[in-house]
A and B are shown apart, each in its own frame.
Chain A
Amino acid sequence: MKAVRGGAGAGSDRTRSVVLLIIHREILMRLRSRVFRVGTVLIVALMVVAALIASVVAGRNTSVQVGFVDSTAALAQPFSATAAALGLDVTIVAVDDQAAGENDIRDGGLDVLVDGSATDPEAVVKEQLDPTILAALQAVVRQQALESQLRTAGLDPTAVEARIAAAGVKIRGLEPVDPQRTPEILVGFVVAYTLMMSLSFYGAYVAQGVVEEKTTRIVEIVLSTVRPSQLLTGKIVGIGLVGLLQLVIIASAGFILVATTHIVTIPSVGATALAVDLIWFALGFYLYATLFAASASLVSRQEEVAGVTAPPVILLIIAYILVYTVVADPSSVASTVLSMLPPFAPVLMTFRMATSDVPVWQVLLAMALSVATSLAITAVAARIYANSILRVGSRVRLIEAVRRR
C-alpha cells in the first residue's frame, strides 16, 4: 500500500505557489503568442514610421529662407535679431538682384525676398507672407524710422530706448496662476485615454483567456486541484504583468522617439506622478479584469465574448466621457465625488491629479474604495466563474451563476 504523501502542505504556501504557477504559465503563453509579439513590434514600428513622417514634415517647415538684395542688406542683421527674439527660425540669404530672388522664390529655394530700399522695403513672396515674418520685418523698419526721427530731433536713440524699456506694467494676480495649465490638461487627457484604452484592451485579453479555458475544457482538470479564486487571480496578475510590460515597451519607444526627433515637446511629468499613474493602472486593471473575467465566464464561445463583456467596456467609456465634466472644474464637488467612485476612479482620479492639486486623503480614499470593491467583485466573480465555467453551450444567466453550485 502506498503511503499517503504529504501533499496537503501549509495552506497559504500552497496557495502562493499555485497562483505563482498560474501566473508563470499565463506570462509564458502570452509572451509566446504571435498576437503579443507581432502586435508589440507592429505598434512600435508604426510609431517609428509616424515619428519619421512627422520629423520630415516638420523639418521642411522649420527654417524660413529670407533673401536680402544689396539695397536692403542693412535690414538683414536687425531682422535676424528680431526674428530670433520672436522665436522664429530664419536663415538670411544674400541675393544678387530682384530677378534672381524672384526666380528662387518660384523654385521654392527662397521663402521671402526683401527688395526695394532699407527705408521703404518690399517683401516678395510666392503667395502669402507669414504674419510673424511680416511683424518682424515691420518692427525692424519702424524701429529704423523711429531712430532716424529721434536723431533728427537731436535725441540719443540709445537713451530713449533705455527709458522705454524701463517703462512697463506690473502684474498682480489675485489668485496664483498655474503657468502650465494647458499642457497639464493635455497630459491629463493622454493619461486618462491611455488608461481607458489599456484597461479595455487587457480586460478583453483576460476575458479571452477565460473563455479559452472553457472552450478547451482544461478548466475541469484545473478546477479539480485549484480554487476558482486562485485561477482567477493567477490569470489576472499574469495577463496584467504582460500588459504592463507591453505598455512599458510602447511608452519607452515613444519617449525615445520623441527625445531623438524633437517632434513634440513633452511637458515635464514628475516621477511621482508617473508612479501614481502606474498604481492606478494596476488598481484599475484589477477591478476591471475581475469584471471582464466574471462576464466572460458566462459564455463558452469566443464569438460571444464581445457581447457579454459590453458592460465593463461601457463603464470605461462613461468614465472617459466624464473627463469632459471634470475638466471644467477638477476641484468641484461633482468632480470630487465622481473621481472617488470605484468604476470611474482610475480614469478620473488620474485626470484630476494631472490637472489640479488633489488632497492626498482623497487619493488614498479613492484607492481604498477601489481595492475594497475589487475584493468584493473577486468573491462574486469567483463564484460566477466556478458556477458557469462547467456549463458549456448556452449562455449562463447571471442569477444562476451567482447561486451556489
Chain B
Amino acid sequence: MDRRLGAGAYRLAPNDRTDLRTETFRMSESTLQIDRISKRYGDVVAVDDLSFEIQAGQLFGFVGRNGAGKTTTMRIVLGVLTADSGEVRWAGLPLDFASRRRIGYMPEQRGLYPKMHLLEQLVYLGRLHGMPGQTAHREATRWLERFGLADRRNDELQALSLGNQQRVQLAAALVFDPEVLVLDEPFTGLDPVAVDLMSGVLRERAQAGVAVIFSSHELDLVERLCDRVGIIDRGRLVACGTVPELRGRGPQRYWVDTAPAASDWWSSVPGVTVVRSEGTRALLEPAAGVDDQAILQIALRAGPVHEFRPAQPALVELFRSFIDEGRP
C-alpha cells in the first residue's frame, strides 16, 4: 500500500464511480475513520463535527493549540469518552468494546501502577488486551529489552526516572501488538536520545502496517516524521493532508536572492508583496494572476539572481496560517 496517499488522493472525479467504490472498499478494510464526531461540555464545544481518516501503515500527526480538542478526540476513539454524535470506525465497522482492544493507547496524563514491577505490569496489560499469558510474557520481555530496561524488569515502576517511566508507558501501548496506536503527546518530556528511540519505534510500527496517530506540539518533529498531518482549531479540523498538500493550500511565495546593489528592485514589480527580507534575500508573495517568470525577469534586469525558488514553508509556519491566532 502506498503510505504516501494524501487526503486528496482518494478524492476522485464524480463520474469515476467504479474507482470510487474500489477505493472506498479498500479504505474501509484498514482505515481508522473519525466520522463527524462532536462533543460538548456544557456550553463549551470541545470537538465540533470532526472527520478524518488514518490508514493502516500511516503515521498521522495531530496538531493544535492547547485545548483545541486533541485529547477529547483521542479519548472518544478509545471509548473512554462517548461522543454526543458521530462515529469512529475501524475496518469499516463502528468501534466497540471488543475492537477497541486492538488499539494501543498512551494517555496524555501518563499512568501505570507505581508499585507494580515492570514486567508483571506489561504482562498484566497484555493479558487484559486478550493475550495468552506466555505470549504476553514474551512480548513484554522483548519490549523491555528493546527499551534497555531488561535488567530492571523486577523493579517497581516508581523507582524509575521519568524518562524511563515514559518508555514503559510506550511499551504498555505496544505490548499486545495493536493494529492502531493512539498516542497523546508521546514526545513530551523526552531527551533527544529518547525522542529518536520513540520516533524510530513509531516509524517501524507504521511500516509494519499499524495506523498511528499521535498529537504533538513539536511541529518540526511532526513534519519530519508524519505521512499526514491534521490541524485542529477550536474543535474543528482546519487542515488535513500531507505537508506538501498543506503548502499547496496556502499562498505560493518565492525566495529571491539578488546582488546587494539591487536591494529594492521589487518595488517596481506590480502585484507583489514583500513578506520578509533578510539581507539580500526576500520572500515575495505575488497577487493572484501574477506570473512568477515575470518577477524573475524583473529581478534579472536589476542584477545577478543567485536564488529564485518557490518557498517551502515549514509546518510551524503553515500551522500559524491555518489557526486563528486572535483567540487568547
Write the residues of chain A forming the contact surface with B, with a CB cutoff of 8 angstroms.
1-2, 4-5, 7-9, 14, 18, 21, 25, 28-29, 32-33, 216-227, 390, 392, 404-405
Q: Is the CB of B192 closer than 8 A to any CB of chain A?
A: no
Residues from chain A with a CB closer than 8 A to the CB of B103 are 224
- Sample (19) of A-B pairs whose CB atoms are under 8 Å apart: A1-B1, A1-B56, A1-B209, A5-B130, A7-B98, A18-B128, A21-B127, A25-B124, A32-B115, A216-B112, A217-B109, A220-B109, A221-B105, A225-B100, A225-B101, A225-B128, A225-B129, A226-B128, A405-B82
Asked whether A216 and B91 contact (CB < 8 A) given A7-B130, A225-B100, A225-B129, the answer is no
- The verdict on A405 contacting B81 (CB below 8 Å), with A1-B209, A218-B113, A221-B105 known, is yes
Question: What 10 pairs between A and B have smallest CB-CB spacing?
Answer: A217-B111, A8-B98, A218-B111, A224-B78, A220-B107, A7-B130, A217-B109, A405-B82, A2-B209, A225-B101
Cβ contacts under 8 Å, B210 to chain A: 2
Interface centre among A32, A216, A227 (most CB of B within 10 A): A216
B interface residues, Cβ below 8 angstroms from A: 1, 29-30, 56-57, 75, 78-82, 91, 97-103, 105, 107, 109-116, 120, 124-125, 127-130, 172, 179, 208-210
A7 touching B101 by the CB < 8 A rule? yes
B91 near A221 with CB under 8 A, answer no
Main secondary structure of the interface of B (DSSP, over half): loop
Q: Contacts of B98 on A, CB cut-off 8 Å?
A: 7-9, 14
A7 & B102 in contact (Cβ 8 Å cutoff): yes
Whether the pair A221, B82 counts as a contact (CB closer than 8 A) is: no
- B111→A14 contact, CB < 8 A: no
In this complex, what residue of B is CB-closest to A222? Answer: B128
If A218-B112, A219-B111 touch, whether A9 touches B56 (CB-CB below 8 Å) is: no
CB distance from A220 to the nearest CB of B (A): 4
Q: A1-B30, A4-B91, A221-B105 are in contact. Are A227 and B97 (CB under 8 A)?
A: yes
A227: nearest residue on chain B (CB-CB)? B97
Contact across chains for B102 and A217 when beta carbons are under 8 A apart: no
Q: Tell me which residues across on chain B come within 8 A of A1, comparing CB atoms.
A: 1, 29-30, 56-57, 209
Known: A4-B91, A7-B98. A220 touches B80 (CB 8 A): yes
Q: How far is the CB of B119 from chain A (nearest CB, A)?
A: 13
Given contacts A25-B116, A217-B111, A405-B81, 14 further A-B pairs with CB under 8 A are A1-B1, A1-B209, A7-B130, A8-B98, A29-B116, A32-B115, A216-B111, A219-B111, A220-B75, A220-B78, A220-B105, A221-B107, A224-B105, A390-B75
